[in-house]
Structure 1
Amino acid sequence: MRRTLFLSIALALQATAIPTFAQTASTATEAIPAQPLDRALNALSRRTGLQFIYDAQAAGNPRTRAVPAGLSAEEGLRQLLDGTGLRYRFVNATTVTIEADAAGSATPLAAPASAAGDAGATGVPHAESPLHQLDRIEVTGSYSRSLEQAVDLKRWNIGFSDSIVATDVADFPEQNLAEALQRMPGVTIERNKGLGTKVSVRGLPSDYTLVTINDLATASGSGGRDVEFDMFASEIIQQVTVQKSPTAADEEGGIAGTVDISTARPFDYSARKIAVSAEGAYNSISEKTDPKYAFLASDTWGDWGALVSYSRAKRTNRTDSTSGINFRPMSRFLSASGTRGTQAQAVLARDAGVIVQDRNDTDESNLIVFQDKVGDRVYVNEQDKWGATASLQYKPSNTFSVAFDAMWGGYDATEDEYDAAAYSASSRSTLETIHDYDDTTLADYGMVVLKDVSYTATQHEMLSKERINKTDYSQYSVSMDWKGDVWSVDAMAGYSGAEKTLDYSNLKHVAYAPSRTRWTADSGETIPSANPNTIDMYNAPEKYLFEAYETTLERIKDDKYAGQVDLARSFDLAFFPALRSIQFGGRYTDRSKRREYGELKITGPTAGSAAWVNTLTMADSPLQSIGDIVPGGDYSFKNLDWQQISNEYARNAFRYDGFTTPYDPGQYYRVDETVTALYAMADLGFDIGTVPVSINAGTRYVDTSVTSFGYHPIQNPDGSTGYTDDPVSKDGSYKDWLPSFNMTAELTEGLMLRAAAAKTMMRPALTDVAYKRTASWSSFRFTDGNPDLKPTYAKQWEIGLEKYFDNGGLLAASYFNKKIDGVVISALTGVVEDVAVYNANGSLNGIYDFDVYQPVNAKGSYDVDGIEVIGQVPLGMFASWLEGFGINANYTRLDSSLAGESDLGIKTPMPGLSKDTYNATFYYENKRFDARLSYNHKSEYVESIGYNMYPIYRDAYGQLDMSIGYRITENVKLSLKGINLTDEVTSGYTMDPAFPTMYEKSGRRISLGIRADF
């Protein structure tokens, strides 16, 4: 459900006619008599089709002049406001803002040529709450105009927010919706192999952000609550607002913020609308050109309107990478029985002077680390993505509207990965010679890093991996908006669903031999060692023996139903003039997420056969050079070339007839969640001296019930794992109050003081809530889900100053603080005594006590604070020769006490939290030509914590994009776009840049497109 909180709602006249008062005037000589401003604007709206937005508190309610019949809409408005100290500005053809003018005249701030040429829909207007929440603005096709519209959205919203509209989304170079959002203040994205995937707000982890589409919280195909934006095409999106301070009416709020996505409706356009676009994009590494096309058609007839849109895109992207070069604790070798452990101990003493007192003391061995693995990898990601929307709207007046909105999407992706890897920490190996080590870089932690080592039996692997991801998304909603003179009612009922299937396979060939592995300047490498039995791992296919063709199959289904009713009443009370309106309502949500998972290894030509294991070599299958097996030619790093088996051949040759990957009951879970929420809030307006103040305050009550199903594992006497016959279920629940407060005060003309405070929440990931148990028989450990998990909460506040200029410019700065409680961590929660553990031959290994680990809400609070600075400056305000030039920039800095979980006690930021982010766009445009150059930057952040001990960082990343457009005719535009023009690489390191973990390159992307609007 979406709110349209205009203070006055427009009537529709013929789109081709210029509205005048004479069209509706009677025999009276005055079309609009002298009267208070609110009543005069309502009358003007009925006669002209214009819709007005203004701050009732700031403007006051002065008496306006009488306006004669027969005038144009703009002239009538000018005369009506003359002498009131107010002025007006056309936002688009039918939307006008009213604000104070120090000069005391009714001069226009800006008036487009077509300002009086289009009109909205017919209806009877009424005065509403001064919440100043402008929810939608029609797109004009100009980037500078879209920035002005986004500024209006920000200005008239009672809380802290930022927006982009469809022109901004469509005209920037991007590959999906996530990449379109990254230019908003405080918004960054997570990249995976050159593609934006998840959205982070203000540097906080992506799962702290709530995402809604048309006011319906979005289902997800992931195991958590975060939304995978790569499945959404940006062309079907009309507007996106990031709400950073919630009101009580907003669903929960999200700790980082809420991303509100809106699709288009027919009455969003003042006339028939048809838009068609086509594009071809070239990737510099894959050397493939990918097509993309989209269209939108919208029309209204009388009280009815219909809109459809469709977008489809194919993408072939290649990524070359060296990765997997993480720390491995020396306990891997030191704790091994026999000569493996004693030899590692001796080599450490001989070559590095490291004396190990107790080989089995992990407190000692965890501080000595070596390279886990070095992999040279080539990824080819092929996507076929489509999205569609449909909207049917009945709008007999601007006081009543019923709309049916639908959204569908499909995301089919196949990723081929060809990996030549050297697993230094193999179970057969140990240290042979330490050529170089570092005992100074991490000396503060007492750590020694073995930088260059020869190993006795490295596990060399040739891996052909295939990942097939199919996601289907659908959403349906029916909404009703009715607005009376005093009361208004909004209602919505909707469904959101996602279904994902993941089919994964890995053809694995292995060769054990001595090798030498070491760090390089930006990654790592494996080369032959001095041992006479060493091999050149890239050119010895006959040495690699078949180990397995591994398969997994996963299916996730997420269904969400929701219904909501909102009621609002406006007031004009003599005894309490500050009270402008109250609003209250409720929402009910029913969600169910189910996950099935299974895995099976193929080891022979028939089920149960192991005929291929250690007998079939890689040379027995047809091989192709890595430069031929993938598009784009040779591997771009290290001048390497090697041969592998293609995934296409592997799928056909190694999957025997009738093969399927069975689902494993022990991996199944289902989580049912119902939420009942009630809220109430009030809008107040009053003056403090000469400063008009508006306040929105309220609270939301949330009652959640969770039922989780899963299975518990049982080890069979033959050593295999079985499961309980019936699912084990458990209930959980939590209730809470979420108060919110938002305030604006216009200190001087155009200078806004804004403040907000709220308690917000983010629900735990459903994978953590799922009541299932997994067992590690060798580690004597159970891992359970926890239906009793509570949400993570934040008590937050923010204060800022915003300066708005007449030409759409904006300067803003704010300080925010969040106190976060209940962060989810993994902890020991119990012990299961006397568990029988069996060996593979069926003999009893022993009776053991098993530790039980669960996700729990951590005790204590963490503070996050930061500043956000925004500058949108049309440079024409400084000099006429700079007309058309402008800058749109923002910067967010975050400081946090949030700590990652390191068993070594290493202080580290929370995974996913970035300290500095900024975006800057330089643009120029005139009637025919436009150009944009945009740079976005995200500082380094902790990506994960290896073995729960060693923080692994993703390096800071900055990307330069550009867009050039030329309007061939008034309706047809040609565009040239470039993504990652400087060909930046993605890189990372463990604890210190001296120990790189990855070096990944996805190339540039250049596209040429054409768009027609009619």
Structure 2
Amino acid sequence: MGWSSTAFAQQSDTTDDQSQNDQQQSQATGSGTTAPSGDQDATAQTDGVAGQPASDIVVTGVRASLQSAQNIKRNAGQIVDSVVAEDIGKLPDRNVAEALQRITGVQIQRSYGEGSSIAIRGLSQVRTEINGRDVFTANGGRTLSLEDVPSELLAGIDVYKNPSAELIEGGIGGLVNLRTRKPFDFDGFKLSASGGINYYDLYGKSKPQANILVSDRWDTGIGEIGVLVDLAYQKTAFRQDQISSQPFYLLDESDETDAAIAAGLGRTGQDTYLAHGVGIGQYLGDRRRLGADVAVQWRPTDTLQFTGEYIRSDYKFRYGDYSYFAYTGDATITPDYTQPFSFDDDGNFRSGTFVNVPVNANTSLETRNSVTNDYSLHGVWNPSSDLEVSGDFQYIRGTTDSERSIVILSSTAERLYTSVGDGVPTMLIYGDGDASNGDGSTTNFDNYRTGGGYLDHIEHSVGTEYAGRFDAKYQLHGGFLRALEGGLRYTDRSAVTDSSTYAYYGIATALPDSLLEVRPFRGDLYRGFDGVPTGAVFFNRNIVLDYDATREALAPYVSESQQEALLDGVSYVPSDRNTQGEKTYTAYGLVRFGSDDFAVPFEGNIGVRVVRTEVSTAGYQVRTPQVQVGTDDDGNPIYGNGDVEYQPISVDSNYTKALPSLNLTFHLTPELQLRLAASEALSRPSFTQLNPNINIVEYNPTNSQRTASSGNPDLRPLTAKQLDASLEYYFADTGMIYGAAFYKKVDGFIANVVTQETYTFGDSSYTYDVTRPVNGDNGKIKGFEIGGNTFFDFLPGWLSGFGAQANFTYVDSKAPSPQATDNEGNQLLVPLELLSKYSYNLVGIYDKGAVSARVAYNWRSKYVVTTQGNGSGNLPIFNAPRGQLDASFTYTVNPHFALTVDGTNLTDTENRTYYGIESRPQSSVLNDRRVSITARITY
């Protein structure tokens, strides 16, 4: 496992030819862009240092990886950082998000212990590509779920932090391009295979992984032909243990009940915040990734080349959890005044005992299966040494199916003791007269047989896109202007999402013992934490893991009126469908220029990208009128809801944006260069945010409030004006120091707000509070990055194998939050969600002879999870600072065979969140430590 501020440094089993090919590829991407198919073009355009010869020295191993990534960064036309897999199938992290976390300015979010999404320089609006083309997961969003792709398929990942005109628009945070291998990357036949086993210590399970690549090329009567097949299979497991305190509520002494509680606690006239419960979550699940890449290349002449490629990503995710919560929500929680209570100086609850607290014991299933199929054809023609013409066509289709079902058992905690503080929250439950922590209540089947229910939800999404582009490049010689580039692009994309409302079925008849189980907690949960019940009763998890079997098992125990619906399963109604269409028409022009005769040699590019976007949305307005359903004993009418009406609605919109960019590179010395850049970028709203569906109920018998929620098909894209500067010093082939500063002014941040809208039923009009996403005001992001890497070649003998990599990022942000106001009602600017102000990576390397070892530590400071947490008094929920240690060791037995042992989360890092201030903890979470053994052969 190897990491760099610019690259993953990989132990190499490859031949010298492979290293030369990688150098050629880095030169081919020297303009700062990868060709639309990721191909090595017949001619390369470079903005690098004029007259620098390629090295005749062939370098392999970690050094070659660092050198490849360093060359990409040094020669690019804009600010680019890369992750490079020097060996076939040997990007060591299990998915792309985790591979990216070592890059300066990139912060990742984790889902059940694995990286799942990223932000670049504070913004999560990041565009994803594969080989310079669109790629996405069909889930109502626009980008690829980075956890879906097996990292073994990739040759490298490039992160573009500022745009130029030839790059496809769509990411104000940045652009992530995934690069796969091609048959012409190799001189001839190539075979690489690996197999390994991953052990997850908290779950206590092991899972396999494997990868095989076969490639060859031949000279034929119709030209040179190459074929490559790359397959990757990976299974992972996870267990996540979580103990959570429920939200804190302030006692309002103007309320009679709250005043009595304050008096009973002896806190009349003092601020008192009570946590309304505590809960346990234990998530046990698995992931399966299956990836395939088939590429065919044909070079009929020296000036003409075609590449056809098929890439498939098939991702399955599943977990079944135990969730055990004693809580009252926003309803009153009653203290046991006979027991001691403690509070901090600000009145925040620390410890105490409550009585008759409702308990839910939930067993649930969540699954997701996402499949993306990507077909592409790319051609490049060089009629002369100065002119390159290329064309590209792509068809991509993605599907996602997911299920969510929850079996709820209900009970009551006669006495609940809980404590919160600097450590993990405590949850102890006792029955009346029971001092042995609830064996008589939490594990008694009779306390859970009735009063619960079943929730059922399904989703199905389909996304398709046709994309075509045409590009031309013409090189000029002998003057200030060096190249002219231009191109056209067209896309036609559709996204159809069916998402059912949650169906609820109440348990009407007592459940038998055969459907119940006791899940032990104490001694097992949270690595032996003893502040939890010995166990609790749940609906049998083995049944819950089978979606159909769950409904069949529960059917006899729900009411007769619900049995048929339960057996049939939840279905879609018209308003569950959200249909979106989008067409884009793009043209760009770019001029590359430079001078070696200026006082300071420089080069750069200036260009503009103009894109017109046409959006169509379709859905339903669901209208439920009020009707009289009877009369009371006095003859007064009783009203209820009438028959639901579905009225189709559609909204079309369009906009045209011009996105200029300027990139300059000044060569202060042969080793020292300064980059300056100014640009404008955009990110489009997600398809979920554009959803026009809205449900309007004239009268709700249980809630006279008239409210509704919807998407907003009139949303406009976010735009960002950007300034970037980077100073880079390259003192060796694998040694550099750099510093970068950036400023982004973002217009149109999207946030949910409540507005009043009028709807008419019959002759009457009513005002509704409708929650919709809207474009807000400007936000600002600024910061800087510093980093570097080197090997200590000056040390004698085996000590010269040591090296180090390090980087640090500072990001300061302010963005509008419509729900956050000061005492005068003025809107407040708050930090962006999911953004840490500080983050860094420290990596120690050893690479000498047959041995390669690395130890890497990644850390980020606290960040806002959400700006307005439920029950937090409109305070944000924060994630506490977190750091993680990973390491690896590789022994190369011979040029064809190597063994690697690596581990992640070796420090068993705990993740904690809190409500606004640290004295109000929300959750404490533990995930697996993973240890892997991998064997690799290469021929």
TM-score range normalised by the length of the shorter chain: 0.7 to 0.9
What is the identity, as a one-letter code, of the residue corresponding to 1:322? I
1:698 paired with 2:607, answer: yes
Q: 3-state SS of the aligned residue for 1:649?
A: helix
In the alignment, which residue of structure 2 is the partner of 1:524? Answer: 425
1:22-101, aligned counterparts within 5 Å? none
- Distance in 1 separating the partners of 2:202 and 2:575: 42
Distance 1:679 1:889, change over 3 A: same
Instruction: Name the CA distance, whole Å, in 2 between partners of 1:171 and 1:487.
Output: 36
Query: Which residue is equivalent to 2:862?
Result: 940
Q: Which amino acid aligns with 1:580?
A: R
Q: 1:880 to 1:353 in 2, by over 3 A?
A: same
Distance 2:310 2:239 in 1: 34
| Alpha-carbon contact 1:415-1:467 (below 8 Å) kept | yes
Stretch of structure 1 that moved more, 583-592 or 683-692 = 683-692
CA distance in 2, matches of 1:405, 1:991: 50
- Cα separation, partners in 2 of 1:568 and 1:969, compared to 1, 3 Å: same
Amino acid at match of 2:936: R
Match of 2:843 in 1: 921
Larger Rg: 1
1:253-273 deviations in Å (ceiling 9; x for gaps) = 511110011111110122211
Cα distance in 2, alignment partners of residues 683 and 701 from structure 1 = 18
Residue equivalent to 1:377:
281
The 3 A distance-change label for structure 1 pair 91 and 662 is closer
1:963 maps to 2:888: yes
Match of 1:841 in 2: none
1:548 counterpart residue number: 453
Q: Find the counterpart in structure 2 of residue 393 from structure 1.
A: 297
Alignment match, 2:595: 686
Unaligned runs of 5+ in 2: 1-13, 29-38, 556-563, 630-639, 823-827
Equivalent residues in 2 for 1:100-111, closer than 5 Å: none
Question: Does residue 732 of the first structure (1) align with residue 653 of the second (2)?
Answer: yes
Of 664, 669, 682, 1:748 maps to 669
Classify 1:899/1:451 alpha carbon distance in 2 versus 1 (closer, same or farther; 3 Å). farther
1:508 aligns with 2:408: yes
Q: CA 1:688–1:513 in 2, change beyond 3 Å: closer, same or farther?
A: same
Deviation per CA, 1:395-435, whole angstroms, max 9, x where unpaired? Answer: 23553211011111111121011011112327585566596
Matched, 1:788 2:788: no
Task: From 485, 502, 507, give the equivalent of 1:583.
Answer: 485
For 1:764, the equivalent position in structure 2 comes to 685
* Change beyond 3 A, Cα 1:578–1:300: same
CA distance in 1, matches of 2:22, 2:463: 40
1:664 Cα shift? 3.2
Q: Deviations over 1:640-695 (max 9, x none)?
A: 43342323224535434843211133232111111111111100011464421101
SS state of the match for residue 154, structure 1?
Answer: helix
1:1004 corresponds to: 929
Report Cα offsets for 1:539-579 as digits up to 9, x if no partner.
34322224212111111222222111111122236xxx101
Task: Name the amino acid aligned to 2:723.
Answer: W
Report the Cα distance in structure 2 between the residues aligned to 1:368 and 1:384, rounded to whole angstroms.
48
Aligned to 1:910, what secondary structure does the other structure show? coil
Given that 2:758 and 2:765 are in contact with CA atoms closer than 8 Å, whether structure 1 keeps it comes out as: no
Task: Please tell me whether the aligned partners of residues 131 and 696 of structure 1 are also in contact (alpha carbons under 8 angstroms).
Answer: no
Cα offset, 1:449, TM superposition: 3.6
Cα distance in 2 for partners of 1:150, 1:470 equals 34
Which of 884, 895, 898 matches 2:815?
898
The answer to whether the 8 Å contact 1:123/1:396 transfers is no
Q: Which residue of 1 aligns with 2:380?
A: 481
Does the 8 A contact of 2:296 with 2:308 survive in 1?
Answer: yes
Secondary structure of 1:882's counterpart equals helix
1:184 is paired with a residue whose SS is: coil
Distance in 2 (alpha carbons) for counterparts of 1:632 and 1:330: 32
C-alpha distance in structure 1 between counterparts of 2:344 and 2:531, whole Å: 29
Q: Match for residue 41 of structure 1? A: none
Separation in 1 of the partners of 2:41 and 2:857? 47
Q: Which residue of the partner structure matches residue 360 of structure 2? A: 461
Structure 1 residue 902: Cα displacement: 4.4
Structure-2 change in CA distance of 1:757 and 1:354 (3 Å): farther
- Range that drifts further, 972-981 or 519-528: 519-528
Look up the equivalent residue of 1:460 and give its one-letter code. V
Q: Is the 8 Å Cα contact of residues 106 and 121 (structure 2) preserved in structure 1?
A: yes
Q: Which residue of 2 aligns with 1:645?
A: 539
Cα distance in structure 2, aligned partners of 1:629 and 1:416: 21
TM-score, length-scaled by structure 2:
0.85
Counterpart among 732, 739, 752 of residue 813 in structure 1:
739
Q: Do 1:129 and 1:570's aligned partners in 2 also have CA atoms closer than 8 Å?
A: no
Q: Aligned equivalents of 1:124 and 1:677: distance in 2? A: 23
Aligned residues: 862
Q: 1:92–1:633: structure 2 CA closer, same or farther, 3 Å change rule?
A: closer
On the 8 A contact 1:425/1:458 being kept in 2, the answer is no
**Equivalence map 1:405-416=2 (5 Å):** 405-416=309-320
Give the corresponding residue for 1:155: 74
146, 155, 173: which one aligns with 1:238: 155
Identity %: 26
Looking at structure 1, the residues matched to 27 and 40 of structure 2 have their Cα atoms a distance apart, in angstroms, of 20
Q: Which residue of 1 aligns with 2:467?
A: 562
Q: 1:301 aligns to what? A: 218
* C-alpha deviation, 1:317, in angstroms: 1.4
Task: After superposition, give the CA deviation of every residue in 1:84-138 in whole Å (9 maximum; x if it has no partner).
Answer: xxxxx9786868989xxxxxxxxxxxxxxxxxxxxxxx9997685647899x999
Q: Secondary structure at the match of 1:267?
A: helix
CA distance in 2, matches of 1:877, 1:586: 51
Matched, 1:712 2:712: no
CA contact (8 A) 2:47 2:604 kept: no
Asked if structure 2 preserves the Cα contact closer than 8 Å seen for 1:295 and 1:309, the reply is: yes
Contact 2:753 2:818 in 1 (8 A): no
Which of 720, 743, 756 does residue 830 from structure 1 map onto? Answer: 756
2:774 maps to 1:856: yes
Conserved? CA contact 1:186–1:892, under 8 Å: yes
State the alpha-carbon separation in 2 of the partners of residues 189 and 590 from structure 1.
31
SS in 2 for 1:463: strand
CA distance in structure 2 between the partners assigned to 1:531 and 1:170 by the alignment: 60
Q: Secondary structure at the match of 2:453?
A: strand
Q: 2:262 aligns to what SS in structure 1? A: helix
CA distance in 1, matches of 2:902, 2:242: 25
Tell me: CA distance 1:601–1:959, structure 2 relative to 1, closer, same or farther (3 Å): same
Shift of 1:528: 4.2
1:625 matched residue in structure 2: 519
Question: Does structure 2 conserve the Cα–Cα contact (< 8 Å) formed by 1:624 and 1:643?
Answer: yes
Q: Tell me which of 69, 92, 95 is aligned to 1:176.
A: 95
Contact 2:225 2:297 in 1 (8 A): yes
CA contact (8 A) 1:92 1:140 kept: no
Aligned-partner Cα distance in 2 for 1:639–1:890: 44
2:782 matched to 1:882? no
Compute the displacement of 1:774 (Å): 3.8
CA distance in 2, matches of 1:629, 1:491: 63
The DSSP-based 3-state class of the residue aligned with 1:153 is helix
Equivalent in the alignment of 1:497: 397
Q: Do the aligned residues in 2 keep the contact of 1:132 with 1:158 (CA within 8 Å)?
A: no
Contact 2:397–2:462, Cα closer than 8 Å, also in 1:
yes
- Matched position secondary structure for 2:261: helix
Quote the residue 1:101 is aligned against. none
